[in-house]
Amino acid sequence: MDLWVTFIGTAASVPTASRGTSATLVVRGGSRVLVDCGEGTQRQFLRSGLGLIDLDAILLTHLHGDHYLGLPGLLKTYALRGRTEPLAIVGPPGLAALLGALQAVVGRLPFPLDVEEAQPGLVLALDGASWEAFPTRHSVRSLGFALIEDPRPGMFDVAAARALGVSAGPLFGRLQHGETIRVGDAEVRPEQVLGPPRAGRSVVITGDTEPCEATIVAATGAELLVHEATFLDDERERARETRHSTAREAADVARSAGVQLLALTHLSSRFLPREIRKEAAAVFGETVVPRDFDQVEVPFAERGVPILHPGGVTRRGPAGVPQAAAGPGTVSPEPDL
């Protein structure tokens, strides 16, 4: 099952000419979840080439404007398009009051909003995976979110199955799904032909936060950690005052958690992305600093490591031809100014 993370907006606090405010899209199979919805997110979707995606859920890390001001426009457009499917909106306490206040702007919607003021723990279960919230440390109530896939069945040992008299076809599938089958007079149990269960993938997105233990716990062993890096380390004091992280601190978290790839977002226009990457990479080598519309592909462990695709691959390019993939750890070549 495909798992892609698309950076829809990567700027801190205010948009720049080349970066929108916070929004990160996670598409896994048929599920589409947006984490944060900064101002102009619907236009960023259009500019990304993905089109105005019908989301299943929007998870808000906290209720600062640069993380939710895109909601009214997006909801209004869904209404104009005649959406009828429910939309889940999850966020910290205060979310219901915020949406109540936005009602006057958005008007009546032809689809239900399932609003959940979340506590740490499970917030969404979608097709073999769950989204869990964990507490982060910011200047207001804040949550990070982790996509955690259920474990997968172990590798299927075809030779062992054949040796037990099972012929290829539907019986293989039934064994793989944990069913005991009969072959002639004999029983064949799944554990006779399956290896140990394989861990699912996990993607962790912090939103705005100081470095914190809860992120390390949530991200331990994750394929991808998307962490904010609003400052460089020589402004660590300022980071403490505003409850944000420096690039070095984000890298420390990634190293402690042992993630495969760290993607830094929530960038201030005062720093060059290459400076941010350099500082983080001195601590944690597998660090990328995506531009808007870059995508990270997260394959199953046996198929490789997460890869950053600058400019994206699943977006519709000219003639629908995907752009060439870049290697792991690739950094966007053009700095923002």
Q: 208 or 279: whose CB is closer to Zn ion?
A: 208
Q: State the Cα–Cα distance between residues 197 and 182, nearest whole angstrom.
A: 23
Residue 203 beta carbon to Zn ion: minimum distance, rounded to whole angstroms: 19
- How far, in Å, are 64, 89, 141, 272 from residue 240 at the CA level? 17, 29, 16, 21
Q: State the Cα–Cα distance between residues 57 and 87, nearest whole angstrom.
A: 6
Residue 63 beta carbon to Zn ion: minimum distance, rounded to whole angstroms: 9
**Stretch of 50-58, 64-72, 156-164, 188-196 contacting Zn ion, by CB under 5 A:** 64-72
Please identify which residue in the block is written with the tokens 């460089």.
Answer: 232
116 and 93 Cβ atoms separated by less than 8 Å: no
Q: 223 or 228: whose CB is closer to Zn ion?
A: 228
**Stretch of 58-66, 107-115, 143-151, 219-227 contacting Zn ion, by CB under 5 A:** 58-66
Residue 108 beta carbon to Zn ion: minimum distance, rounded to whole angstroms: 30
**SS percent in the chain: helix, strand, coil, step 5:** 30, 25, 45
Among 36, 56, 66, 292, the active-site one is 66
User: Is 66 a known active-site residue?
Assistant: yes
Task: Give every CB contact of residue 108 below 8 A, 6+ residues apart in sequence.
Answer: 79
Contact track, Zn ion, 279-298, x by CB under 5 A: --------------------
**Stretch of 60-68, 160-168, 253-261, 302-310 contacting Zn ion, by CB under 5 A:** 60-68
Q: State the Cα–Cα distance between residues 290 and 75, nearest whole angstrom.
A: 27
Site for Zn ion in 176-235 (CB under 5 A): 208
Q: 64 or 248: whose CB is closer to Zn ion?
A: 64
Residue 214 beta carbon to Zn ion: minimum distance, rounded to whole angstroms: 17
Task: Give every CB contact of residue 147 below 8 A, 6+ residues apart in sequence.
Answer: 26, 28, 33, 129, 130, 131, 201, 202, 203, 204
Q: 23 or 175: whose CB is closer to Zn ion?
A: 23
DSSP β-ladder status, 186-188 and 181-183: antiparallel
The count of chain residues that interact with Zn ion, using the rule CB under 5 A, is 3
Residue 259 beta carbon to Zn ion: minimum distance, rounded to whole angstroms: 22
DSSP string over 153-198: PPPB-HHHHHHTTPPSSHHHHHHHTT--EEETTEEE-HHHHB-S-B
325 and 337 Cβ atoms separated by less than 8 Å: no
Q: State the Cα–Cα distance between residues 165 and 120, nearest whole angstrom.
A: 49
Residue 177 beta carbon to Zn ion: minimum distance, rounded to whole angstroms: 43
Q: 31 or 142: whose CB is closer to Zn ion?
A: 142
Q: How many CA atoms lie within 13 A of 178 on its CB side?
A: 5
Q: State the Cα–Cα distance between residues 112 and 258, nearest whole angstrom.
A: 40
Please identify which residue in the block is written with the tokens 């808000």.
Answer: 60
| Beta-bridge partners for 183 | 186
Q: 32 or 64: whose CB is closer to Zn ion?
A: 64
Q: 6 or 21: whose CB is closer to Zn ion?
A: 21
Residue 40 beta carbon to Zn ion: minimum distance, rounded to whole angstroms: 14
66 binds Zn ion (CB under 5 A): yes
Residue positions annotated with a catalytic role: 66
Binding site for Zn ion (CB under 5 A): 64, 66, 208
